[in-house]
Amino acid sequence: MPENKSNGGLKIGVYVCDCGINIASKVNVAEVVEFAKNLPDVTVAKEYKFMCSDPGQDLIKQDIKDGKINRVVVASCSPLMHENTFRRATSEGGLNQYYFQMANIREHVSWVTADKAAATEKAKALVAAAVRRVAIHQPLERTRVPVNSTVLVVGGGIAGIHAALTLADAGKKVYLVEREPTIGGHMAQFDKTFPTLDCAACILTPKMSAVRSHPNITLWTYSEIAEVSGFVGNFKVKVKRKPRYVIEELCVGCNLCVEACVFKKPAFPNAFDEGLGKRKPIYMPFPQATPSVVLIDPNTCSELKTGKCKKLCASVCERNAIDFTQKEEFKEIDVGAIILATGYKAFDGKRIPRYGYGKYPNVYSSLEVERLVNASGPTGGELVLKNGQKPKSVGIVHCVGSRDENTNKYCSRVCCMYSLKLAHLIKERTGAEVYNFYIDIRTPGKGYEEFYDKLLHEGVHFIRGRVAEINDWAMTPDEQGKLIIRAEDTLVGMVRRIPVDMVVLANGLEPQEDAEEVRRKFNISCSSEGWFLERHPKLAPVSTFTDGIFLAGACQGPKDIPDTVAQAGAASAEAMALIDKGYVELEPNTAYIRDELCSGCHTCIPLCPYNAISFNHEKKIAVLNGALCKGCGTCVAACPSGALQQNLFTDEQIFQEIKGVMSYV
């Protein structure tokens, strides 16, 4: 082994990881180790099967303790995976943890390079770069900041409700912000839930009222997030509260105003009923709405539109709760952690014109049918067509807007099961012949296959074939006046035409319309489909790449209620782990100014989003307050004199890295 060669006692250890065969199958690791041995100041170079394992980390610690090395380079996976692991090992060996540098030869090399020789060469170049860089690393210290113990939950579906209650029960203060006038989300629209067919309201409404009455929960419905700033443990959030024109604290939900409204009949489509039911300008979204407070829709109320109404609503309200002058309000809150639980939106069947949704009145969306079979729905739970008659035959079309390159490629995971549920409910309520058209029936859950079995036994028809088209083109007398579903029965190998009275489109799940906007506000990432991206699909499924922001429920990807609730519990636990620790350590990646180079040009000062830079009029140079700096790097990039530098990313460190690659290539 070459002796410590030069440079005032620099002794660099290079550890190249096989990662089982993840790296070793593409990179000739032994060759990289030999190469590293001959780099300047390298005193130790080793190969190991799994560097992240305990024995792997021990290699580093022992070499430090033995005095063989005083700088560490690990060539393995992405720093996102194990930078912390190896920094810890470095520090436990007795060195400053920043005397460490990582070279990513897995994600950047072995996983993306087909040719073995080329992969090995690239790995060498990256190791050379890391060695040159670590040689000029400085010892740095992390700072600790306390964590605010309040949590913000965004979205009041079952995910948000469960997360808020879990945290509140543990004694944490929670703000629950919901965009709609009531919490409950999609689950509140359902009559029964699969696979047990328990009544959705019976299991959901107690939780909704628990949210309302919990002393630790502040519930803001009809509200949206306007702005988010700060960082883990110390977020500042601005919430917009939209005007309901009803004073929430005064209204007791007696509905007298609704009865009194000058509109004698409900005339406007109620969104909660998917437009199938009607409401007045002043309304309660549904009987169990939480909070139990009415609201006025400014687009239909005559007073708010024209200023000319007898305002019967206000005159009957004994508590003077109605206030036409209400304006939107902004509230600022400080929270330590945030849980996003904004859920999903159902696919719009109109995007597949050959299914005739929006054209033929008897083609329904699944959510519409959920409302039709719901006892508190627009028909009181009677499944009837628009003409008031019960359907004698119903076709349920699976995979609408799922598993399809023309719309969404992914499987929406819940529609097979809810289609089975609806098939059961429809058969139970009407005795109709029910046909399910499916590509594959997906029932991977506890009790789910048994539910499918039950449906088969009940005599529901299952036709394996994706529906080609639905229209009113009758070819035979018995098809007259019906909707004809055309599909190949792939198990038989023949095309079938099935006349039905009603079609249900099992629409898939899609990210919310504003998912991209929300993502930007909270500075998290989205998958290519637009779902909020978890930090790791297996090992960090409720964390995001932004510390302190967690995910729960369908906003992260399609999932059913059991999975949603489990994830909400997990997100609350993660938030609590953060809060109960009490502090967060910040990366010492702050910027600093080299006074002698600063020309006092002022460029940086207005650019800093955190107002961390000010001007010293005596010395005529800029001054940076390290405690305020968040390490965003904006000023560093802007400084024309090169006076601004950033810890962990100094110009020199980056140049050395580039030189390392170049000198090798």
Site pattern 140..179 for ligand FAD (x: CB under 6 A): --------------xxxxxxx----------------xxx
Q: Is 411 in the site for other proteins (CB under 8 A)?
A: no
Q: How many residues does the chain have?
A: 665
Taking each helix axis as running N to C, give the angle between helix 158-169 and helix 561-581, from 0 to 180 degrees, rounded to the nearest 10. Answer: 40
Q: Is 313 in the site for ligand SF4 (CB under 6 A)?
A: yes
- For ligand SF4, the binding residues in 372-401 under the rule CB under 6 A are 398-399
Q: Is 168 in the site for other proteins (CB under 8 A)?
A: no
Q: Is 442 in the site for ligand SF4 (CB under 6 A)?
A: yes
Among residues 557, 543, 625, the alpha carbon closest in space to that of 590 is found at 625
Q: Is 190 in the site for ligand FAD (CB under 6 A)?
A: yes
Site pattern 191..210 for ligand FAD (x: CB under 6 A): --xx----------------
Q: Is 439 in the site for other proteins (CB under 8 A)?
A: yes
Stretch that binds ligand SF4, among 178-186, 260-268, 603-611, 644-652 (CB under 6 A): 260-268
Q: Is 282 in the site for ligand SF4 (CB under 6 A)?
A: yes
Site pattern 455..494 for other proteins (x: CB under 8 A): ---------xxxxxx-xxx------------xxxxx--xx
* Contact pick of 82, 87, 186, 207 for ligand FAD (by CB under 6 A): 186
Q: Which helix (H) or strand (E) holds 424?
A: helix 415-430
Q: How many CA atoms lie within 13 A of 435 on its CB side?
A: 25
**Interface with other proteins: number of residues (CB under 8 A):** 27
d(CA 73, CA 53): 16
d(CA 430, CA 344): 30
Site pattern 492..521 for other proteins (x: CB under 8 A): -xxx--------------------------
d(CA 102, CA 131): 9
- For ligand FAD, the binding residues in 512-541 under the rule CB under 6 A are 512, 514, 518
Strand partners, 74: 15, 102
d(CA 531, CA 491): 35
- Token reading at 363: 């083609």
On whether the CB atoms of residues 487 and 469 are closer than 8 A, the answer is no
Residues near 478 by Cβ (< 8 Å), separated by ≥ 6?
499
Q: Which helix (H) or strand (E) holds 201?
A: helix 200-213
Question: At 24, phi and psi to the nearest 5?
Answer: -65, -25
Strand partners, 144: 585
Enter the DSSP assignment of 472.
Answer: -
* Residue 643 burial (C-beta neighbours within 10 Å; 0-12, 13-18, 19+): buried
CB of 393 to other proteins, least distance (A): 18
Local structure of 519: helix, strand or coil: helix
**Range list of H helices, 94-197:** 116-134, 158-169
Stretch that binds ligand SF4, among 124-132, 302-310, 494-502, 596-604 (CB under 6 A): 302-310
CB of 178 to ligand FAD, least distance (A): 5
Among residues 650, 656, 658, the alpha carbon closest in space to that of 12 is found at 656
CB of 399 to other proteins, least distance (A): 8
* Contact pick of 56, 277, 281, 377 for ligand SF4 (by CB under 6 A): 281
Stretch that binds other proteins, among 31-39, 396-404, 423-431, 452-460 (CB under 8 A): 396-404
Q: Is 644 in the site for ligand SF4 (CB under 6 A)?
A: no
* CB closer to other proteins, 387 vs 406: 406
- For ligand FAD, the binding residues in 400-419 under the rule CB under 6 A are 414, 418
* CB closer to ligand SF4, 530 vs 569: 530
Strand partners, 471: 484
- The position carrying tokens 């009275």 is 501
d(CA 310, CA 307): 9
Q: Is 403 in the site for other proteins (CB under 8 A)?
A: yes
Q: Is 411 in the site for ligand SF4 (CB under 6 A)?
A: yes
Q: Is 421 in the site for ligand SF4 (CB under 6 A)?
A: no
* CB closer to ligand FAD, 121 vs 563: 563
Stretch that binds ligand FAD, among 21-29, 184-192, 208-216, 579-587 (CB under 6 A): 184-192
- The position carrying tokens 């629409």 is 507
* Contact pick of 34, 328, 332, 440 for ligand SF4 (by CB under 6 A): 440
Measure the CA dihedral 128/130/134/135, to 10°. Answer: 10
Q: Is 330 in the site for other proteins (CB under 8 A)?
A: no
* Contact pick of 231, 560, 592, 634 for ligand FAD (by CB under 6 A): 560
Q: Is 553 in the site for ligand FAD (CB under 6 A)?
A: yes
* Residue 596 burial (C-beta neighbours within 10 Å; 0-12, 13-18, 19+): exposed
Strand partners, 645: 592
* Contact pick of 41, 47, 121, 180 for ligand FAD (by CB under 6 A): 180
CB of 239 to ligand SF4, least distance (A): 26
CB of 432 to ligand SF4, least distance (A): 20
CB of 207 to ligand FAD, least distance (A): 11
| 600 backbone φψ class: left, alpha, beta (φ>0; ψ -120 to 50) | left
Residues near 643 by Cβ (< 8 Å), separated by ≥ 6?
593, 594, 595, 596, 597, 598, 599, 622
* Residue 538 burial (C-beta neighbours within 10 Å; 0-12, 13-18, 19+): exposed
Query: Max CA-CA distance within the chain?
Result: 97
- For ligand FAD, the binding residues in 438-477 under the rule CB under 6 A are none
* CB closer to ligand FAD, 316 vs 566: 566
Q: Is 323 in the site for other proteins (CB under 8 A)?
A: no
Evaluated on CA atoms 35, 36, 39, 45, the torsion sign reads negative
Q: Is 368 in the site for ligand FAD (CB under 6 A)?
A: no
Residues at the contact surface with other proteins, assessed by CB under 8 A? 352-354, 399, 403-406, 439-440, 464-469, 471-473, 486-490, 493-495
Instruction: Name the residues that contact ligand SF4, by CB under 6 A.
Output: 261-263, 281-282, 296, 301-303, 309, 311-313, 398-399, 402-403, 411-413, 415-416, 439-440, 442, 506, 508
Contact residues: ligand FAD, CB under 6 A: 154-160, 177-180, 185-187, 190, 193-194, 224, 341-344, 346, 366-367, 370, 414, 418, 421, 512, 514, 518, 553-554, 559-562, 564
